[in-house]
Structure 1
Amino acid sequence: MAIRSTLILSTAAALLGGVGMFTPIADATPATSIDVLPRLIDGAAAGYALSYPTIDEHGRPAIARGQVYLPSGTPPAGGWPVVSWAKGTVGVGDSCAMSTALDDGVAEDPMAVELSKPLLTALLRSGTAVVSTDYIGLGTTDAHHYLNSVSEANAVTDIVGAAADELPELSRTWVAAGHSQGGAAALTTGARADIYGEESDFRGVMAFAPSSNLEAILPLLSPSTPRITPLDNITATLIYVLYGLRDSRPDIDVDSYLTELGRDYLAQADDTCISELRQRVIDVAPQQLLTRPLSDPAMASALHEYLAVPTTGYTRPVAIEQGLADTVVPPALTTALSAELVAAGVRDVTYLPVPGATHHDVISATVDDALPRILAMVR
C-alpha cells in the first residue's frame, strides 16, 4: 500500500522546478521529468534519463535521478518486466553519479556501473527492461546519505512506478537487484515491499555482495582500537557513512567524534569518488579519524537505525551471491546476514558463496547463475 501522498508529489514537483536537468517529453507528469539518454549500454534499444520524486528516511520528499533501458523488439502484453538495479558505491558527490557522467558526456562510466554491465546486458537481451536509480543526493541538491537502507530502498522502489508512468512499454512486474551498496538497498526494498510504494507486482530480490552488519562493526572502533590491517579496508566506507549520518542526524554531532584528520576527510568527501578515496586512505586506519569511541550509546543507536538491513518482512524470494575472495564486503558478514534471515523465519532464502570471486568480479562470475534466477522471479 502506498505511503506517498498528494502533498509529497506536489512538493516534489516544486522541487523539480529548480532542478532543470531534463526537458520533459510529451505527457510527462509535473512530478517527473524524462529525456532520451545520450548513450546506451549494450543490449538496450532505447534509454531514458529520469528525475523523479521519492521519500527519504525521515519521510520527507526528495528527488532522485536514474536511467531506464528498454530491450529490443515488441513488448509483451502488459509491457516489459523490469529489474530495478541498485548500483554499487560510486561516492557521495554529484560528480560521481552516472547521471552526471551522462550529462557531462564523460567517456567512462563510474566503476560500479561498469561492473554491472555483464548482467544488465544479459537481462536486456533476454527481454527484461532495466531501471537504475542514482539514489537521493547524487546529481540532486540533497546530500547523499550513503548506506542509509531506507532512503536507498525507497529510491529503488519509486523509480519503477515513475518509469512505468512515463513509458507504457514497461510493466509493473519487477525484481530488485543490486551490488554492494545496492545489494543492501535491494534487500531493504524486498523487506519493505509490503509497506512502501505504489501498488505493483513485486517478485523478489537478487543481491550481490550486499553491505551488511556494519552497524555491528563500526561501534567497535575507537581511538584506542588496535590497528589490524584488514580493518583499514573500511576507512573509506567509514568516511562516507559518517558524511551521510552527519546530514541525516544533526542531533548526533558527528564532528565531535572526529579528529582534525577525520573532519578534513569528511569535508572533502563529496569531492572524491570511491576509487580515488580508497587510494588516498590506503595507509589510513579508521581509528585515526576518531577522538571518541563509536560505541557511545547515542552514536551506536544512530548507526544501527541508519545502516541496518532488515532481517524480517520478506515475503518474496531472496537470493544472495557472495564472492569468497571479497576484501571489500567480508564473506563472514554476508554469511551472518543469511543466517540471520533464516533464523528470523524468512522462508525463501538462497545463499550462494562463490569460491575465488572478488568484490569486483562477483557479478560477471555469476551471470550464468543469476540471470535464470532473476528471470524465474520476474516472469
Structure 2
Amino acid sequence: MKDWAGTARRGTAPVGDPAKGRSCGYSVRPRSPRCWRRRSPGCPAGTRWRHGYALYLLNGLRTTYPELDIESLLTDSGRYCLERARTECLSPFGDELVTHGVVIGDLFTRPLADIPDLRGLLTRYLGLPESGYDRPLFLGQGLLDTDVITPETLRFAAVLGANRQPVTLKVYPTDHDGAVNDSLPDSAPFVRDLFA
C-alpha cells in the first residue's frame, strides 16, 4: 500500500482532560525515524479516534491562533495529516491513521511545550464556561465513554450546579456513541421544550 503521508517518526502523546488543558500533548516528543507499520486490528474506537481528535485540536489551534505557526512544529507527515484534518470525518480518518500506524508524537519535530504558556492557552481554547449560562444546558454522559471522560463531566456538572447554572445531567450505561442514541428520550424533549 502506498505510504499516504511520507515517512513518520515513532513517539507518544497522551491526551487527557481537554476541558482543563491537562496533559494534552505535553509529552509529545519527536523520536527516531522509522517507517509506518500496520497496527493490529481490533483497536478500541477511543484509541483510533484520539488520533483524529488530536489533529482536530491542532487544526483548531492553527485556525484560532495563526501566530503560533503550528506547522513549524510538524514533520512533512504531520503537516499532511493536519491538512487532512481540515476536511476529513472522524471515523474514516481515525481508522486510516490507525491502519497506517500513525503515532501523534511521530508527527512533530519539536514538542508542543515549546509554545509559550501552552497550558494556559489550551485552558482558554478548550475550557468551558462554568457560569453565565442564560439558557438551560443538557449534559448527556456515557459512563463507559473514553472520549469525554466521565469524572470530568461529573465535576463540570457539579461546578455548574454550585454556580446555580441551569444544567440537567443525565448519565447512560454506554460509551460515547451509545450515549447519543440512549439520550434521545431525554435530550429530544429537552430541546423541544426550549422551542415551545
TM range (shorter): 0.5 to 0.7
Residues 1:309 and 2:128 aligned together:
yes
Looking at structure 1, the residues matched to 177 and 76 of structure 2 have their Cα atoms a distance apart, in angstroms, of: 32
Residues 1:378 and 2:195 aligned together:
yes
Q: How far apart are 1:313 and its partner, in Å?
A: 0.7
Deviations 1:50-88 (A, max 9, x none): xxxxxxxxxxxxxxxxxxxxxxxxxxxxxxxxxxxxxxx
SS of the aligned residue for 1:302 comes to: helix
Q: How far apart are 1:214 and its partner, in Å?
A: 6.2
Tell me the residue number matched to 2:88.
272
More strand by share: 1
Q: How far apart are 1:290 and its partner, in Å?
A: 2.8
Out of 236, 245, 258, which is 2:52 matched to? 236
Deviations 1:211-246 (A, max 9, x none): 951633415332179xxx966642211112212321
Aligned residues: 164
Structure 2 portions without partners, runs of 5+: 1-16, 32-43
Residue type at the aligned position of 2:26: L
Tell me the residue number matched to 2:72.
256
Q: How far apart are 1:321 and its partner, in Å?
A: 0.7
Tell me the residue number matched to 2:27.
221
SS of the aligned residue for 1:361 comes to: helix
- After superposition, the Cα gap between the structure-2 partners of 1:346 and 1:289, relative to the gap in structure 1 and judged at 3 Å, is farther
Residue type at the aligned position of 1:215: G
% same residue: 29
Residues 1:360 and 2:177 aligned together:
yes
- After superposition, the Cα gap between the structure-2 partners of 1:290 and 1:214, relative to the gap in structure 1 and judged at 3 Å, is farther
Contact 1:322 1:353 in 2 (8 A): yes
Contact 1:258 1:292 in 2 (8 A): yes
Looking at structure 2, the residues matched to 217 and 272 of structure 1 have their Cα atoms a distance apart, in angstroms, of: 25
Larger radius of gyration: 1
- After superposition, the Cα gap between the structure-2 partners of 1:221 and 1:336, relative to the gap in structure 1 and judged at 3 Å, is farther
Tell me the residue number matched to 2:137.
318
Looking at structure 2, the residues matched to 364 and 241 of structure 1 have their Cα atoms a distance apart, in angstroms, of: 25
Out of 99, 111, 117, which is 1:293 matched to? 111
Deviations 1:148-168 (A, max 9, x none): xxxxxxxxxxxxxxxxxxxxx
Residues 1:337 and 2:156 aligned together:
yes
Residue type at the aligned position of 1:336: R
Q: How far apart are 1:324 and its partner, in Å?
A: 1.5
Q: Structure 2 length as normaliser, TM-score?
A: 0.68
Looking at structure 1, the residues matched to 165 and 83 of structure 2 have their Cα atoms a distance apart, in angstroms, of: 44
Q: How far apart are 1:349 and its partner, in Å?
A: 2.0
- After superposition, the Cα gap between the structure-2 partners of 1:231 and 1:367, relative to the gap in structure 1 and judged at 3 Å, is closer
Looking at structure 2, the residues matched to 351 and 217 of structure 1 have their Cα atoms a distance apart, in angstroms, of: 26
Q: How do 1:111-260 residues align onto structure 2 when only pairs under 5 Å count?
A: 213=19, 215-223=21-29, 233-260=49-76
Q: How far apart are 1:265 and its partner, in Å?
A: 0.8
Q: Structure 1 length as normaliser, TM-score?
A: 0.38
Looking at structure 2, the residues matched to 279 and 214 of structure 1 have their Cα atoms a distance apart, in angstroms, of: 27
Higher RCO (CA 8 Å, separation ≥ 6 residues): 2
Residue type at the aligned position of 1:247: T
Deviations 1:95-148 (A, max 9, x none): xxxxxxxxxxxxxxxxxxxxxxxxxxxxxxxxxxxxxxxxxxxxxxxxxxxxxx
Looking at structure 1, the residues matched to 153 and 23 of structure 2 have their Cα atoms a distance apart, in angstroms, of: 13
Tell me the residue number matched to 2:35.
none
Tell me the residue number matched to 1:198.
none
SS of the aligned residue for 2:177 comes to: coil
CA-based RMSD of the aligned residues comes to 3.0
SS of the aligned residue for 2:24 comes to: helix
Out of 351, 356, 359, which is 2:169 matched to? 351
- After superposition, the Cα gap between the structure-2 partners of 1:377 and 1:272, relative to the gap in structure 1 and judged at 3 Å, is closer
